[in-house]
Structure 1
Amino acid sequence: MSLKFQVGDLTVHRIVELDAPFLPALEMLPGLTPERLDENRSWLQPHSLDANDTFILCYQSYVIQTPHHTILVDSCLGNDKPRPRPEWDMKSDDRYLRALSDAGFSVDDIDFVMCTHLHGDHVGWNTRLAGGAWIPTFPNARYVFGETEHATAAAAHHVAQNAAYADSVLPVILAGRAEIVKDDHQIGDHLRILPTPGHTEGHLSFCFGRQADDVVLTGDLIHVPLQTRYPELSFARDKDPVQAAVTRRAFLERYCDTPTLCCTAHFPSPSVGRVTRWGDGYRLQDID
């Protein structure tokens, strides 16, 4: 399993917290037909699709080292947090922090935590429980939230309390560690924001590289490899499935047949590759 990639002057590390079955394929992608699933089962199994036709997801962060900063993108599930799925709920293992350490980092080494969006499986390690209170896990980091994404999440939390916002976003803001930014925000000459709405209103992807997009982090604009071949297949829990499909195809076309390394949030290992064309769709081609 590849956990480290070198691209130009960037080093990319995968920090894997969990691999687990998620939802039955026909439930997760409502536009998917049994016939189309049958046509693709041979290449989906066993890594992306299990014997019960349930999609398997990888939950992971990426740490990108630029010449100037160490940047963590999306902080996975976290420990001690009430969540709606049993494999996410009140976790207490050390896999995530051990994976971070195995990659050569401590929590003190992270300069920025970038959040593609504010769902619970992408912000969990933003904070940790200490003395009965939630404190930022990465004490020296600035946490970057998109303006639209944060405004939408905060408004929803005001109407009905959201556990992920309460335990993994709000404590960061109250600690004075958050930066709420517009879509034109950049960090140095190596990180730019690419708006990718659909899964949520303010969903963002992140582009790394000095003069070109050498590496791009997709977040949840795409969840499983079958959506690469058929970008019109939107996730049942996308906020705007039509917009998500448009965004996904535009993203894949943008990077198709280019040197850009695409790092997905939930694809099975190796999770990264370069976009190539496959009929009317695309595929993520593994790199050597």
Structure 2
Amino acid sequence: MRFGPYEVRRVVEWVGPIAPVSKVLPDTPASYWAENEDWLVPSHLDGESYRAAIQTWVIEGAGETILVDTGVGNDRDRPQIPVFSHLQTDFLARLDSAGIDRNAVTCVVNTHIHYDHVGWNTTLADGAWVPTFPNARYVVPARDREHFRPENADRMRAPTTEDERRRFEGSRLVYADSVAPIDEAGQLETWDDELRLAPALRLERASGHTPGSSVLWLEAGDGAVFVGDLTHSPVQVPRTDDACAFDLDRDEARRARHDVLGRAARTGATIFPAHYAGQGAMTITPQDESGFTIGAWAPLPPL
């Protein structure tokens, strides 16, 4: 897809069912999923399971090659999410096939620090984790860096469930293999509130999912916004108040979701979530005070 001088493409790492929808999106009633199977199946709903893609959005143009989120990565110890523990995919070959030269990547944007957004920051070489993109700056929200740094573990709120306990403990492994090596290599850049990467590319904090969760606005052509985990499933477009179980502050995440989606609806910007399968991205229009209507899906091959 083109936006002014920029081209956006999708490079997929993995797609499939992850967990029951009742676990991932506990606020969405079972009846809603059943009543909307005509447009949720097969892309976003697989039986009773939440179906998602792990993918990287690549923005090229104006001398920049920018990766938005880097998936799970290979060879990772992820006891908190067994389906992705020691994953092996051909993601790097897919980057190559898409014409993306790892040495030419100028910037890697991690919308937040979660295992499925920072994994390919690094690769395993001779027993050590090294930057996958040696000439890129890695842009990471400062609030997430502080929150997830192991030495700040005592600042994290207490987990409320056993699942949260596993995820909180697992975040230390994520930081160690996917963030700390970037910092040690001198390629990590942190920011807060807002950062302009280029004249038409602006990062903005949209907290709630994590303390530093962010979105990237592409202000060219018809406009676009890369929203990370602001929305996990398209059911959260008409039902913006429906929280994801992985949101650290659900009320704050709801406010951010309604604000960002509202601005995208008013401007006609294409919304690129991190985990939508199917055609991956869409435009939306206002529906009512609590949600929006999907206007058109992106002209991308469905997953």
TM-score, length basis structure 1: 0.92
Matched letter for residue 267 of structure 1 = Y
Determine if contact 1:207/1:213 at 8 Å carries over to the other structure.
no
User: 2:246 matched to which residue of 1?
Assistant: 237
User: Which stretches in structure 1 are left out of the alignment for 5+ residues?
Assistant: none
Query: Do 1:157 and 1:165's aligned partners in 2 also have CA atoms closer than 8 Å?
Result: no
Match of 2:161 in 1: none
1:65 aligns to 2:60 (yes or no): yes
Amino acid paired to 2:212:
G
User: Structure 1 CA distance, aligned partners of 2:218 and 2:65?
Assistant: 12
Relative to structure 1, is the Cα distance of residues 269 and 42 closer, same or farther in structure 2, using a 3 angstrom cutoff? closer
1:124 aligns with 2:119: yes
5+ residue gaps, structure 2, are 155-168
Q: CA deviation at 1:156?
A: 6.5
Q: Give 1:162's aligned amino acid.
A: R
Matches within 5 A, 1:8-47: 8-47=4-43
Counting only pairs closer than 5 Å after superposition, residues 238-257 of structure 1 correspond to structure 2 as 238-257=247-266
Would the aligned equivalents of 2:146 and 2:152 in 1 still touch at CA under 8 Å? no
CA 1:184–1:93 in 2, change beyond 3 Å: closer, same or farther? closer
Q: What residue identity is the alignment partner of 2:219?
A: G
Is contact 2:194-2:205 (8 Å) kept? no
Letter in 1 for 2:93: R
Verify the 8 A CA contact 2:44 2:278 in the aligned structure 1: no
Of stretches 124-133 and 81-90 in structure 1, the one that deviates more from structure 2 is 81-90
**Cα offsets for 1:80-131 (capped at 9, x unmatched):** 111132331112231x112211211121120000110000100000000001
SS in 2 for 1:185: strand
Give the secondary structure class of the aligned counterpart of 1:256: helix
Matches within 5 A, 1:1-288: 5-51=1-47, 53-83=48-78, 84-94=80-90, 96-154=91-149, 158-159=153-154, 162-210=172-220, 214-278=223-287, 280-284=290-294, 285-288=296-299
Please, what TM-score do these two structures have when normalized by structure 2?
0.88
CA distance in 2, matches of 1:119, 1:43: 29
CA contact (8 A) 1:258 1:274 kept: no
Cα pair distance change 1:156/1:60, threshold 3 Å:
farther
Is this contact kept in 2: 1:117–1:204, CA < 8 A?
yes
Structure 2: how far apart are the matches of 1:287 and 1:220?
18
Distance 1:177 1:216, change over 3 A: same
Cα distance between partner residues in 2 of 1:65 and 1:237: 31
Cα pair 1:66 1:190 within 8 Å, conserved = no
Contact 1:257 1:274 in 2 (8 A): no
- Greater shift after overlay, 153-162 or 189-198? 153-162
Give the AA of the match of 2:298. I
Task: Output the amino acid matched with 1:111.
Answer: T
SS at match of 2:254: helix
Give the Å deviation of 1:157.
Answer: 6.0
Say how many residue pairs are matched: 281
Q: Using the alignment, how far apart are the partners of 2:30 and 2:283 within structure 1?
A: 28
Deviations, residues 208-241 of structure 1 (Å, cap 9, x unaligned): 225x881210000110111111001001121011
8 Å contact 2:195–2:204 — kept in the other structure? no
Contact 1:12 1:63 in 2 (8 A): yes
Q: Write the distance in 1 (CA, Å) between the matches of 2:135 and 2:235.
A: 38
Tell me, yes or no, if the aligned pair for 2:280 and 2:298 is still in contact at 8 Å: no
